[in-house]
Amino acid sequence: MNTTTLPSTNSAAEPRLNFPKAAPAVFAAMLAAQQTVNQSDIERPLMELVKIRASQINGCAFCLDMHFRDAKKAGETDERLYLLNAWQDAPHYYTERERAALRWTEALTRLSSTHISEELFDQVRAHFNEAELTQLTLAIVVINGWNRFNVGFNIPPRFAF
């Protein structure tokens, strides 16, 4: 037996449910929200970091794969991407604005187990104007939505609908 071979994780090559086909209006609504995010004033590399961080927390393989590749296309370095899961322990790799966005991402993604303090809000607000903070929050809401569809329906990486 090859000891480097991992056991099957029983993940199907096909999703549990093809949600775009099952509910086209729901998929269209998610795409419309995503289009709004795509048109935001926030720099694309930062948006990709936010999407990856939320997807790490939520365990969304489909989104991690997609947004890692998108981040690379946007100019992200390997070091920043593979350290993202431990960004707090590698602060010199990320700007203050990025760290504020990552704190906001983590807090909103883990909303059921955290509280948005005035201190956190003030830290984030120091780096984003009102429009940007609203856009950042929508980006976090939307990636968390995509994560829930993809994790819930077991969408494998690079699955083409």
Quickly state the pLDDT bin for 160 (edges 50, 70, 90): confident
The answer to whether residue 29 is domain-embedded is no
Asked if residue 64 lies in contact with residue 158, where contact means CB atoms within 8 angstroms, the answer is no
- Residue 139: which domain range? 42-152
Q: Domain for residue 24, yes or no?
A: no
Q: What's this model's pTM, rounded to 2 decimal places? A: 0.90
CA-to-CA dists, residue 50 to 1, 4, 21, 84, 99, angstroms:
40, 33, 28, 10, 10
Q: What is the CATH number of the domain that holds 85?
A: 1.20.1290.10
pLDDT tens for each residue of 40-50: 999 999 999 99
Provide the domain count of the chain: 1
Residue 8: pLDDT above 70? Answer: no
CA 67 from centre of chain: 7
| Structure-token pair, residue 93 | 């790799």
pLDDT of residue 139: 98
Give residue-wise pLDDT tens across range 59-102.
999 999 999 999 999 999 999 999 999 999 999 999 999 999 99
Give percent of the chain above pLDDT 90: 89
